A and B are shown apart, each in its own frame.
Chain A
Amino acid sequence: MSSKRHSILPPVSSSGPKPPVHFSSSITIADSAILTGTHPIAIHGESVVHPRAKLDSLAGRITVGRRCVVHERSTLGAVFGASGRITEAAVTLGDYVTVEVGAAIEAGETVVGEGTVVGVGARVGAGAVVGKYCTLTPHSEIAAGEVIPDFTVVYSNGMRRPDKRGVAELRNKGMARQIDVLRRMIPSNPTKFA
């Protein structure tokens, strides 16, 4: 690959209004993250937002907890299906949440509990309440309004089982270390969105 260009990043289509943001000072947000919408977007703690992640607050406010990692191509506040206009359509992520590549969390009072891992391509429907330290394996779907208890693993076409590993503490420690490394790797540019 030619070393002339450092990255090939096609311009991000900045369609949509620029939302009011409320960032904590220690977050890492990549330059090419996409933040659109009208409602406020709040990102706390030492969270990391990878390039090309999309936070869409058109329908409602978005709150991201402390030490979260939002991977690329994921969407917070997406609207899928003909759900119509929802006025109070907030998306809330707890602390230590990981949203993997391509996951989509629909707007509509959706709550993702602390320490949960939303796998690659997973979809969380509007109004769903996902408990703490859950694991949603890749491509799993949570229907709108569903309540997932704490410590559940959603796998294989909608199967559920309780997670008895007791790794909550370890996961958090792992996340902290991951964030340390990511902070150095991803050039952060919070002022672009302020």
Chain B
Amino acid sequence: MAALTPYTYIQCPCSDLSTLGRTSDPKSPRADEADDDDDDRTFDPRAPRSNYSLYPLEYLLYCEDCHQIRCPRCVSDEIVTYYCPNCLFEVPSSNLKSEGNRCTRSCFQCPICIGPLAVTSVETKPDPSLLAAPDNTAAPHSGPYALTCSYCSWTSTEAGIKFDKPNGIHAQLAKLRNGGLTRLTAKERKERRKDPSHRFAPAAERDHERSALDDKLNLETQFANLKSFYQSQLADPNASDSGLAALSDLGFSSPTSLSRIMSIYTGGSLHDKKAKLRVGAMREALDTDEGLQLADLDESAAIAQLQCEGYDGTASTSQLSDQPPNLGEAHLHGRGRFISDLRPIPYLLRTKRSKRCPVCRHIISKPEAKVQTTRFRIRLVAGSYIPSMAIRPLSLSGGSSGTSASGSAGIPGALLDPLRPAHYLLTFTNPIFESIKVTLGAPAKTPGRFASKVTVLCPEFDIDANTDVWDEALKDPGGGGGGGGELRDRERERERERRRRKGEEGRNMSSNNNQLEVGKIWERGRNWVSIVVEVVPASLRLDHGAGEQPLREDDDVLEIPMFVRIEWEAEAGGDEVGAVIGRDREARERRELAYWCVLGLGRIRV
């Protein structure tokens, strides 16, 4: 039973319709009916869907135009920059289309442990420059190079790959197959095909054919050959006709070839019918030059290798899935079986993304385009607009909260005793420059299998604005100077007196009386207020026999759904530039924001 530190998760309104305790209701509900008093619509944190809509405050963003919070699920991302996470070089998006989404600059990951690979030279003679990093160009011996993992000591020589130069590894790797054989790039393949000396006559003798078959086990070559063969098949019968010869070059999806294909069907003359018939008469590939490869069902080599290396010599599924696709090695669709088939993995590029509000399409988060800077041009986070909540257990017997552990939940992370009331201190910190009024609503019993009783002692309170610390210091008696300080001094005293008389503070500072009074806050500060929440955890005892299921995982976590409504006054017409002076300057708009949140307090002792 792991100890639980208290947490608060906030539900984003984008998932409002689906997590209001309703089962899959086909009728679309009214959008903003999140009534906190109505039990039927209480947010259930244990509903399977609510897991996907709850986020801690750090993950939420805020759209200033919609005045709503946005979560990572509802914002739309746009990519600002692509960069390699190893060399931190920016990759222009044009390169991305041509070379794929991996780094092409000698950044590789070990296929065994995905640690970073470093270029080292393979020397038979001992040489002190072996342990030099790749940026040390003063290596006098330029023997063949290999990639070595700094963590698990894998080297590319285990796959039979060695390089001649320490730079431009990606390009060199593209030309190498495992075992040191060369691999043909697309260009070379085209040239080979065009070169007549490589062509074997289709009706060759058996020996010739067999040797040709043996030599083309390469998946990429086979694919390229097949593709060109089929293209030629489509082109060939219609070579005499006008337009279809162009198909082989452009492929099938280009608009010109599509229009030409359509012209076959809309032709209507005898000439075209013949063309249509001829398209059907295609043949299959007959030899390796055209792309045929007989399946090699003899796996004795693989079995021998397996017996020799054992289980440890085989690659795991995660290692195989990390390999970049289409390597053209074994005939298992490019995937090897053994560790010796694994090749170094180029790093996947990482992105810097800017986020947009889905409703009003304004940008709410935009980082700088440069990879080295960590600044943001726009960064509207929810933490600057909605109050943050902190939960701490409160022990009432003797001393201030948090120090003595005599209460049942005095130590954070301790287990809660069932059926014994425990108290928690909930602190709300106001980040905006206006004072806000907070209204809380929590159901009397937590939803779910084991209903614990919850009482929020003070569901409505005000929090002061987040004024500057300097303003506060000037108001402080004894700090700051001059007559102005004195004036404010008296004001502040009056304010405190007023509050005390109103009886708002349930905890009288002078008498240090730790009594809990309903309707009163616990403590107040410059821009924060803390209140007490009392919970009576439910008993987790199961009545065996009534067909009850055993305790599921996390059934013992005490979570309270709470509805928070925040009201504040802001200046009206903030969006317009050059508002009308006079009356509008005085007008203050009341704004409100409401959301559900979940307070996770702790685990109940079984």
* A contact residues vs B (CB 8 Å cutoff): 135, 137, 153, 155-156, 159-161, 163-165, 167, 169-170, 172-174, 177
Contacts and interface: CB of A to CB of B under 8 A. Distances in A.
Nearest to B124: A166
A170 B128 CA distance: 7
A153 B153 contact: yes
Contacts of B128: 170, 173-174, 177
B178 to A, nearest CB: 15
Given A137-B151, A165-B148, A173 B113 contact: no
B487 interface: no
A147 to B, nearest CB: 16
Contacts of B131: 170, 174
Contacts of B126: 169-170, 172-173
7 contacts: A137-B152, A153-B152, A155-B152, A156-B152, A163-B153, A165-B148, A170-B130
Contacts of A169: 126
B312 interface: yes
A169 B124 CA distance: 10
B158 A164 contact: yes
Contacts of A156: 113, 151-152
B160 to A, nearest CB: 12
Nearest to B157: A164
Given A135-B153, A155-B113, A161 B130 contact: no
B127 interface: yes
Interface of B: 112-113, 123, 126-128, 130-131, 148, 151-155, 157-158, 312
A164 B113 contact: no
A160 B154 CA distance: 12
A164 B160 CA distance: 12
Contacts of B152: 137, 153, 155-156, 159, 161
Nearest to A171: B131
A155 B151 contact: yes
Contacts of B154: 161
Interface centre among B123, B152, B158 (most CB of A within 10 A): B152
B312 A164 contact: no
6 residue pairs, one from A and one from B, having the closest CB atoms: A169-B126, A163-B153, A155-B152, A153-B153, A170-B130, A170-B126
Interface centre among B113, B148, B153, B312 (most CB of A within 10 A): B153
Contacts of A135: 153
A165 B120 CA distance: 11
A174 B128 CA distance: 7
Contacts of B112: 161
Given A153-B153, A156-B113, A177-B128, 8 more contacts: A135-B153, A156-B151, A164-B155, A167-B130, A170-B123, A170-B128, A170-B131, A173-B128
For the residues of A in contact with B, the DSSP-based class is mixed
Given A135-B153, A137-B152, A156-B113, A161 B312 contact: yes
A62 to B, nearest CB: 28
A68 B158 CA distance: 29
B238 to A, nearest CB: 56
Contacts of B157: 164
B16 to A, nearest CB: 43
Contacts of A177: 128
Nearest to A169: B126
B212 to A, nearest CB: 35
Contacts of B153: 135, 153, 161, 163-165
Nearest to B150: A137
B125 to A, nearest CB: 8
Contacts of A163: 153
Contacts of A170: 123, 126-128, 130-131
Contacts of B130: 167, 170
Contacts of B312: 160-161
A68 to B, nearest CB: 19
A54 B154 CA distance: 33
A163 B112 CA distance: 12
A174 B132 CA distance: 11
Contacts of A174: 128, 131
Interface centre among A160, A167, A174 (most CB of B within 10 A): A167
Contacts of A159: 152
Nearest to B126: A169
B151 A165 contact: no
A67 to B, nearest CB: 15
A109 B151 CA distance: 28
Contacts of A167: 130
Contacts of B155: 164-165
Contacts of B123: 170
Nearest to A161: B152
A153 B157 CA distance: 17
A160 B148 CA distance: 17
A164 B112 CA distance: 14
B324 to A, nearest CB: 22
A118 to B, nearest CB: 15
A12 B131 CA distance: 36
B265 to A, nearest CB: 61
Nearest to B128: A173
